[in-house]
Amino acid sequence: MSKNKARDAAYHILQQYFETGRPLGFFIDNLLDPGMLQVDKNLAYNMVKGTVRNWMLLDYGLSRVSDREIKKLDLNVAAILRLGLYQLFFLEKVPSYSIVDESVKLARRYVHVGASKFVNAVLRKAANWKNPIQYLYLLIDQEKAGLEYKLSLKYSFPLWLVEYWFQSYGTATAEKIMQSLNQNPDTFIRFNSVLTRAQVIEKLSLREPRDSVEKQMPPELASINFRVMTLGQIVESQLFREGYLTVQDLSSQIAVKYFLNPKPGEKILDLCAAPGGKSIFASELMKQDGSIVAIDINQAKLAKMEENIERLKLENITLVRDDATKLDSLGTQVFDKVFVDAPCSAWGTISKNPDAKYARDYAEIRRLAQNSYKILSKAAQHVKPGGEVIFYTCTLSPIENQQTINKFLAAFPEYYIPPDLPLSMANLTVDAGVEIMPYYFNSEGGFVCRMVKR
């Protein structure tokens, strides 16, 4: 394995991310050389995600070993230092002298000799710390500040977001959410019901999943899912190419299986549908008996969705490009069920997309909530009497979730939330809907609510 190639790739991605603020996934997709060995890709990927995930903590550590203000540092140097500190603090199996040496070489290659001397001096100070993470936590605990500020630094979440979650969930739950979202999540692979779990594991040469973790999953989903840490082996397999496997997080599977609960013969509308995981799962549960109209405004995502539908050989999904706040393409059509996968702050996905926690503010989440309400209001006009609207987001945000649902129910009194929960689990939080916390299944967090039209 060439750690140099992985570090070079990680540096270029981080430098562009810190300079532009564009979504991290864009740079991973465009700057990670597809010709690299998979092991090098994985290392670069993990270093990039880990550095961004711990950005605020790393900058706090940097402030303790450098007398220069971080905001005045050259962005190239700052990227190298953050990457180096991440390795020193979190990659315990890599010798510290090697990390310092390779970081100095990065600075010499991509900045200048003077910068390399500064990088060397700073990282050597940090390398002399014993148990650096625990030392940093000790320094944070000694800060004369409130708990919100200390946890903001410890878990690298913006202070306003920590305060928002404190107010919404209480101190203990808020910290548990942050702790969970800072861990690497499991990736869920759902397999076609024509195969058994044993057949899938044998064909892909996988290990049987951890029993203690699998038992936490709803049994109907545990029987058609397994967990992996990386996708390379899966997406390159013949089973995947032939349509037997689908990558889909557990929270969205729960929303489809238990809340949408698609039945053969039903007519379903899926709004903001691309890239299509929920429409595809619904089609499979319906045995392709019935119809799904999947609407999205993004043509590129619809094209990707069409590829997945063709790979899986599904014939009852119709793709339509339209604005979900307008739905001009539908005319007076009504449906048995409408699934709204609302655009949101995506905080439930932070474990996979760590940059999501830095990308929003109060004004933005209120705008997102208003947009969701517009979509729900349009969706309500296309449901037949006795039909249902299912509202889903991949975020943990009462302004976007519970408050949006309450506003909708007040404006559309013909809709109500049925008292019986489709999914019976003791740890689900119910308040105008169900929150799926990321620590339930080591998956994405999310919110789902089912509303029936009288």
Contact in structure between 120 and 100 (CB atoms under 8 Å): yes
User: Mean per-residue pLDDT for 303-329?
Assistant: 95
- State pLDDT tens for residues 138-147: 999 999 999 9
| Closest of 203, 240, 244, 197 to residue 222, by C-alpha | 197
pLDDT score at 107: 96
pLDDT score at 421: 81
- State pLDDT tens for residues 187-215: 888 988 777 878 887 888 776 554 444 45
pLDDT score at 212: 41
Q: How far apart are CA 57 and CA 35, in angstroms?
A: 33
pLDDT score at 201: 79
pLDDT score at 132: 93
Q: How far apart are CA 412 and CA 418, in angstroms?
A: 15
pLDDT score at 217: 78
Residue 329: is its pLDDT beyond 50? Answer: yes
pLDDT score at 218: 83
Least confident of 147-161, 215-229, 262-276, 306-320: 215-229
CA distances from 134 to 106, 118, 202, 320 (A): 28, 25, 42, 53
- State pLDDT tens for residues 210-242: 444 445 778 888 888 888 767 777 888 888 888
pTM to 2 decimal places: 0.93
Q: How far apart are CA 227 and CA 443, in angstroms?
A: 10
Give the per-residue SS3 of the chain: CCHHHHHHHHHHHHHHHHHHCCCHHHHHHHHCCCCCCHHHHHHHHHHHHHHHHCHHHHHHHHHHHCCCCHHHCCHHHHHHHHHHHHHHHHCCCCCHHHHHHHHHHHHHHHCCHHHHHHHHHHHHHHHCCCCHHHHHHHHHHCCCCCHHHHHHHHHCCCHHHHHHHHHHHCHHHHHHHHHHHCCCCCEEEEECCCCCHHHHHHHHCCCCCCHHHHCCCCHHHHCCEEEECCCHHHHCCHHHHCCCEEECCHHHHHHHHHHHCCCCCEEEEEECCCCCHHHHHHHHHCCCCEEEEEEECCHHHHHHHHHHHHHHCCCCEEEEECCCCCCHHHCCCCEEEEEEECCCCCHHHCCCCHHHHHCCCHHHHHHHHHHHHHHHHHHHCCEEEEEEEEEEECCCCCCCCHHHHHHHHHHCCCEECCCCCCCCCCCCEECCCEEECHHHHCCCCEEEEEEEEC
Residue corresponding to tokens 């009194």: 413
| Closest of 357, 372, 445 to residue 402, by C-alpha | 372
Considering the chain, what percentage of its residues have pLDDT values greater than 90? 76
Q: Between the CA atoms of 145, 56, 343 and 48, what dihedral angle is there, to the nearest 10 degrees?
A: -160
Q: What is the pLDDT confidence band of residue 357, given thresholds at 50, 70 and 90?
A: very high
pLDDT score at 413: 96
- Which residues are CB-neighbours of 125 under 8 A, at least 6 positions away? 65
User: Mean per-residue pLDDT for 429-435?
Assistant: 82
User: Mean per-residue pLDDT for 80-90?
Assistant: 97
Mean pLDDT of the chain: 92
CA distances from 95 to 9, 233, 401 (A): 20, 29, 46
